[in-house]
């Protein structure tokens, strides 16, 4: 039985199933392990872990600790309450089908621009921001028209191109986040630029560490964490860069409870945009294919962000982030009450529980739908009932290459 406990309840003889902080790789610890002594307990405390999961079948337990089902139900209820309390947003100015072709070109161009800049930095050359100026403006404009297009494309990454593709995704998600908060056009632009540049310091990290397929050693992990300092050194040489963009680079690994790095800043000591970037960076990282882990589904990632917000993120900002991309974000594979399965392609600003779903599979027939189609769950509701989401799934369980298929479909 997998149970969730507070870190102060951890004692030798317990078996750790999950340290419950998937955004970081902790080289001092295997993925799952038995706690043999108080030294290991102290080391886990030192990581800043506040809650973790133990396997009571393989070690000691804690009386009355909730299991994964209870935790899942509690988080789901929090999200349902959140959906009921959130103010409505604004409808996209254009449809996904209209925005998708231009967004695909923009995504490719922005990725090339970030890649060129990072290549220059890796070679020790002073990168120029001119190539990014047009990309920043175009991303902000695309997100205003329909944020679902770029945010959906951001889920499709290759392992080799992760660093610069992740940067483009963080830039687009920050633009979406800023719009949800009704921030000014200038702040949104600077946040988008900060997102594109937030990981430039990784170009100073040796390739064999940056792209290592296995777990990092303790020394390698410290070198990896230095990318924040390297990034600050690189970006401070760019006189045209605003403090907003610099804050994003410097603060995106800080955590609201002080457990982050490089400075262990806490609460309001972290800049507002830095707090936003921390949420966005983790969300995109855990929904991406990496050399050392498979991606979470967007819906599962939202639930982990909500769970972690109790300690590691600004809870109010997490609420607004979820409003900006939905409880079932674009790219989520969802199960409907009817037995149909599809991928979310449009976040409904007026009802986060009723997105547009691209129907791809019918569990009753145990077969893929021969002619996939869009189903707007909000319109179905308006017609007197209709289908509704009952849960979410992973692509591999049903053999559906949903993320790629849906966006290829929208492009044609």
Among 102-116, 145-159, 181-195, the least confident range: 145-159
The predicted pLDDT at position 395 comes to: 66
With a cut of 90, say whether residue 269 has pLDDT above it: yes
Instruction: Say which DSSP state 19 is in.
Output: -
pLDDT tens, residue by residue, 58-85: 999 999 999 999 999 999 999 999 888 8
Residue 85 lies in a domain: no
**Same-domain pairing of 124 and 168:** yes
**Same-domain pairing of 130 and 190:** yes
Residue 188 lies in a domain: yes
Please report how many Cα atoms fall inside a 13 Å half-sphere around the Cα of residue 120, on the Cβ side: 13
Instruction: Categorise residue 64: left if φ over 0, alpha if ψ from -120 to 50, beta otherwise.
Output: left
Alpha-carbon distances of 402 from 298, 355, 384, 392, 394, rounded to whole Å: 12, 16, 29, 13, 9
**Same-domain pairing of 110 and 259:** yes
The predicted pLDDT at position 412 comes to: 42
**Same-domain pairing of 247 and 197:** yes
Residue 86 lies in a domain: no
Average pLDDT, the chain: 88
Last residue of a domain, one of 66, 87, 115: 66
- Give CA–CA dist 120/399, Å, rounded: 40
**Same-domain pairing of 305 and 346:** no
**Same-domain pairing of 162 and 283:** yes
pLDDT tens, residue by residue, 199-252: 999 999 999 998 887 778 889 989 999 999 999 999 988 767 889 999 999 999
State the residue range of the domain holding 356: 333-410
Phi, psi of 389 (to 5 degrees): -80, 135
Residue 348 lies in a domain: yes
- Give CA–CA dist 364/54, Å, rounded: 36
Tell me how crowded residue 311 is: count the other CB atoms within 10 A of its CB: 18
Supply the pTM of this predicted model.
0.93
Number of domains in the chain: 3
Is residue 58 within a helix (H) or strand (E), and if so which, with residue range? none
Last residue of a domain, one of 66, 85, 114: 66
């Amino acid at each position: 039985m997998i149970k969730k406990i507070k870190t102060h309840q951890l004692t030798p003889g317990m078996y750790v199933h999950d340290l419950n902080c998937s955004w970081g790789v902790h080289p001092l610890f295997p993925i799952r392990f038995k706690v043999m002594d108080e030294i290991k307990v102290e080391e886990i405390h030192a990581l800043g872990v506040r809650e973790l999961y133990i396997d009571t079948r393989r070690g000691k337990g804690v009386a009355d600790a909730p299991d994964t089902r209870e935790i899942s139900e509690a988080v789901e209820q929090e999200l349902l309450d959140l959906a009921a309390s959130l103010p409505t947003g604004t409808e996209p100015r254009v449809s996904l089908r209209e925005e998708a072709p231009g967004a695909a070109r923009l995504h490719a161009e922005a990725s090339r621009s970030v890649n060129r800049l990072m290549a220059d930095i890796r070679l020790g050359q002073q990168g120029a921001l001119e190539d990014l100026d047009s990309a920043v403006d175009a991303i902000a404009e695309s997100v205003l028209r329909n944020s679902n297009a770029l945010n959906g494309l951001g889920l499709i990454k290759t392992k080799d191109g992760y660093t610069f593709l992740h940067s483009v995704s963080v830039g687009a998600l920050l633009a979406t986040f800023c719009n949800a908060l009704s921030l000014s056009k200038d702040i949104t632009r600077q946040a988008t630029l900060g997102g594109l540049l937030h990981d430039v310091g990784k170009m100073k990290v040796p390739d064999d560490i940056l792209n290592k397929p296995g777990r990092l050693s303790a020394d390698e992990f410290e070198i990896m964490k230095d990318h924040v300092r390297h990034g600050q050194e690189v970006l401070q040489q760019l006189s045209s860069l605003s403090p907003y963009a610099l804050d994003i680079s410097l603060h995106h690994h800080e955590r609201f409870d002080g457990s982050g790095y490089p400075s262990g800043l806490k609460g309001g000591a972290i800049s507002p945009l830095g707090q936003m970037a921390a949420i966005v960076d983790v969300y995109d990282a855990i929904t991406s294919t990496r050399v050392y882990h498979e991606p979470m589904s967007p819906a599962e990632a939202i639930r982990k962000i909500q769970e972690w917000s109790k300690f590691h993120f600004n809870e109010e900002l997490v609420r607004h982030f979820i409003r900006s991309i939905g409880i079932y974000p674009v790219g989520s594979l969802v199960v409907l009450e009817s037995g149909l399965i599809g991928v979310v392609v449009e976040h409904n600003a007026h009802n986060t529980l009723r997105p547009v779903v691209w129907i791809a599979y019918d569990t009753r027939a145990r077969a893929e739908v021969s002619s996939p189609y869009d189903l707007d769950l909000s319109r179905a509701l308006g017609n007197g009932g209709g289908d509704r989401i009952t849960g979410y799934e992973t692509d591999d369980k049903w053999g559906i290459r949903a993320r790629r298929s849906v966006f290829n479909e929208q492009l044609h």
